[in-house]
Amino acid sequence: MPYNWNDAEVFCTVANLGSFTRAAEQLDMPKSSVSRAVSNLETSLGLRLLERTTRLLKLTAAGHELNEQLAPLFERLQDIVEATQSQRDQPQGILRISTPFEFGVLHLNQVICSLLMQYTGLEAEIEMSTQHHHPVESNFDLVFSMHENELENSSLVARRVFTVGTVLCATPELVAKFGAPKHPKDLAAWPCLCDDNATIWRFQRQDSPEIHEVAVRGRLRTSNASLRLGAAEAGLGASVISATLCREAMEQGRLVPLLPDYQPMPRQVYAFMPTRRLVPTRVRAFLDALTSYGTSQQDSTRISPLRNG
């Protein structure tokens, strides 16, 4: 039986996504056609490539080896086609993004809307998530993730695209009750509202490279900054929140910034991408627009802290 390259590409899509259903969605094919393509490839090769059960899809040794050899070739072909098209075409197609809620709402919204207005052939699918998806396995062009520290070594392609300035804030009533803290260690006696994955807060003096750490605790822990903001305004505790998100509350006096001599560590936003040599036009246009937006926002998140005394 002759070898069919289309069947091979379908197989690689199934292998990389781990699902016939998800492969069918990505390829815009009926699930039955995807299954038939894989079966045809197995027949032509005389090899079993996948072990199928009602709950599990697993590559055989032969399937794993074939996918490792072929997948980069199909990816390279796709890169070449998209690069050729980009020489004459504007950004088009579906831009698939996963992002933390607050970063998406506060920063990506303006960039996305601007691009969609500018390029009529472009579409966008945005998932707000606290999970860190794998861009290839989840079929995303870009996966944004926020990190306090520098990114550790990763097998994925990552690009730092944004710095989110943060502010330690609380209600004036809470400050009156506990007294304005003079050092990060004073927060150990405060009720604090923190990220469920970050119960250690880090601060740095403006004139020193030393990092000061403090373990905080409180009655509310959530990765959603909007919930922490609401709880802080209700007087349930102090919280480290992005300067953009809490600006209005502080301008109106509902919250006040704390620790004038110490700055909470900013959050670094990274964009994770599939390991591709060539970046699709739609992704490159989006990252360029985000970089331009980030540059314009650099000085807009500075808020003067509350002075003691």
Task: Answer for the pair 146, 164: CB distance below 8 angstroms, yes or no.
Answer: yes
Q: Which residues pair with residue 124 across a beta bridge?
A: 95
In a domain, 302, yes or no: no
In a domain, 146, yes or no: yes
Residue 175: give the domain boundaries: 166-265
- What was the pLDDT predicted at 156? 63
- What was the pLDDT predicted at 106? 83
Task: Answer for the pair 212, 184: CB distance below 8 angstroms, yes or no.
Answer: yes
Same domain membership, residue 203 and residue 261: yes
230-255 residue pLDDT tens: 999 999 999 999 888 899 999 999 99
Domain boundary among 60, 86, 112: 86
- What was the pLDDT predicted at 155? 58
In a domain, 30, yes or no: yes
Phi, psi dihedral angles at 30 (to 5 degrees): -60, 145
Rounded-to-integer distance, Cα 119 and Cα 143, Å: 22
In a domain, 309, yes or no: no
Token reading at 79: 């890169």
In a domain, 245, yes or no: yes
Q: Which residues of the chain are modeled with pLDDT < 50?
A: 1, 299-309
30-77 residue pLDDT tens: 989 998 999 888 888 888 899 877 677 888 998 889 888 888 888 778
Rounded-to-integer distance, Cα 15 and Cα 23, Å: 9
Same domain membership, residue 190 and residue 253: yes
Distance of CA 7 to the CA centre of its chain: 33
The helix or strand, by DSSP H or E, that contains position 95, with its residue range, turns out to be strand 93-99
Length of the chain: 309
* Structural domain total, the chain: 3
